[in-house]
Structure 1
């Protein structure tokens, strides 16, 4: 049984409150099918000193999450009915077990990014659950995701800092937006690094073995008092996200530009285009890899996913039985990686890494990129149906079992092709 629907069933009929105003956490929980209210915590985060948690960034994230959840639970205790569950969360960035908070100014942001340049660091998201039956204590857990930055030239750091995005982000960057231009790879739970470890949350929830919910009170819904500033979040379907949505309804911040929203919305359609339940390990490659990895984890919670937004040229790809190439160009202000023909080499590398039963998933954007690199004899498709060109693209790389579909995308449809390697194909 899938973990996400199970979590929704366990909480059905209960009042659930998210003690965070983060649009990313709201989106992730909403896509899981959970009904909840949003009541941002008033806990002053600056009052908790990271120095009190030497070498323990995960404990700091858990404690901050607990303080947030307990504050909201205490504030709403007198409501009719009070919350059955309050969820708090906090995300921190740490390198060498030293917590990097939000930059104090632009110079501090540049120092942080320079420290992360060319290195692997950890992103910890701590979660705290406060139940009505035990409102003085919090169940705590965390998830660690490993993020590797590319070697960042000074001009790239300067351009990113000038964008203003680092100033309200832990560690000085936002993985879900322009900050992806700095990232080489993400290993572990991408959703956790974006803001909420949904799979771990569902496992903890199932272990709780909730008792059947109490009968609803004989009062109308209007008698419930969620408190000032509360907002109700309803279940958000992938279809709703793909048609006429605002950037604020995607995992991007409301202020992120339209290209960031386009990546996330296209990624949602790509992740839903095929039945990928047969695969166990996926690797998303190139521009848009982080968005696709997050969407794949939402839709296929048992699928392990690695995201390589900027795969280093010449380095072997991680082992996987599914390679996904969204085909977005590198994010500005990133410079093109690998020189002429880099995207074709990436596609060839993914195809070469596929053993029997493994697959490559590409979009029609691949045709445009290959056409720009002049790597395909007839890669372009003009204004016509891209399906034949996509089939030829994979057939040239030894795939015979090929499906092509029109995947929902922002502003229309994006054709995608899935090629599965047969037993004797190479």
Structure 2
């Protein structure tokens, strides 16, 4: 359905992003580069995911063939104006989940497409409402699912999403970490 005449490279090792790309039914390969996920302190929280997503794409500058297109992405969780990243360990994950418990938070996920000529980034935001979580529920989730590669220390598509997410306003896939509708839109307009 989509044929932009370029080899598509997903710059992510995330199994969730891979699965969602496969759902579009287009051929792609995965290629990653280690990128430091730092950003200027002065950057507004709603712009951080886009900044980091572009940083991941730009890591490939000078290496892209003119027949290649990079797709990168980044997700951040924001509660009470504070950005919550990926947890370092069990204790950090527990603190994050306790902070999210019983409250609404925002998930921002940005998608960047870049070839040898241009770069374009779109960011999507979804509000997530969580029920109060008990320490037993939090400990079970951390012990069973080890959410250390996830912003905010949780995956909506996992057990905690099943039992704790009461409602969302926006795209489920944005919370999963890859607003596939934006990927499709960008590819169609490339």
CA–CA separation in structure 1 for the residues paired with 2:22 and 2:47? 27
Q: Which has the higher strand share?
A: 2
Deviation per CA, 1:213-265, whole angstroms, max 9, x where unpaired?
xxxxxxxxxxxxxxxxxxxxxxxxxxxxxxxxxxxxxxxxxxxxxxxxxxxxx
Q: Which has the higher contact order (CA 8 A, sep 6+)?
A: 2
**Aligned residue in 1 for 2:76:** 92
2:54 aligned residue? 66
Which residue number in structure 1 is paired with residue 23 of structure 2?
31
Distance in 2 (CA, whole Å) between partners of 1:98 and 1:19 is 27
Displacement, 1:117? 0.7
CA 1:154 to 1:173, structure 2 compared with 1: closer, same or farther past 3 Å? same
Equivalent position to 1:108, from 57, 74, 92: 92
Cα distance in 1 for residues equivalent to 2:113 and 2:98: 35
Please report how far the alpha carbon of residue 144 of structure 1 lies from its aligned counterpart in structure 2 after TM superposition. 0.7
- Normalization by structure 2: what TM-score? 0.89
DSSP 3-state at the match of 1:186: strand
Alignment of 1:195 onto 2:177: yes
Kept in 1: contact 2:111–2:182 (CA 8 A): no
RMSD, matched Cα: 1.9
1:132 corresponds in structure 2 to 116
Cα shift at 1:164:
4.8
1:144 alignment partner, one of 115, 125, 139: 125
Q: Distance in 2 between matches of 1:186 and 1:98?
A: 19
Regions of 4+ moved over 6 Å: none
Aligned residues: 189
- Partner in structure 2 of residue 120 of structure 1: 104
Between the aligned partners of 2:17 and 2:101, the Cα distance in structure 1 is: 27
Kept after mapping to 2: 8 A contact 1:39/1:72: no
Unaligned runs of 5+ residues in structure 2 are none
State the secondary structure of the residue aligned to 1:167. coil
TM-score normalized with structure 1 length: 0.42
Shift of 1:71: 0.9
Secondary structure of the corresponding residue to residue 166 of structure 1: coil
Tell which structure's C-alpha radius of gyration is larger.
1
The correspondence for 1:51, drawn from 41, 59, 65, is 41
SS in 2 for 1:88: strand
Rounded to whole Å, the distance in 2 between the matches of 1:175 and 1:20 is 19
User: Cα–Cα, structure 1 residues 188 and 30, in superposed 2: closer, same or farther, change >3 Å?
Assistant: same
Q: Distance in 1 between matches of 2:189 and 2:6?
A: 17
Residues 49 and 73 of structure 1, relative CA distance in 2, 3 Å threshold: closer
Instruction: For 1:146 and 1:153, locate their aligned partners in 2 and report how far apart those are by CA, in whole Å.
Output: 21
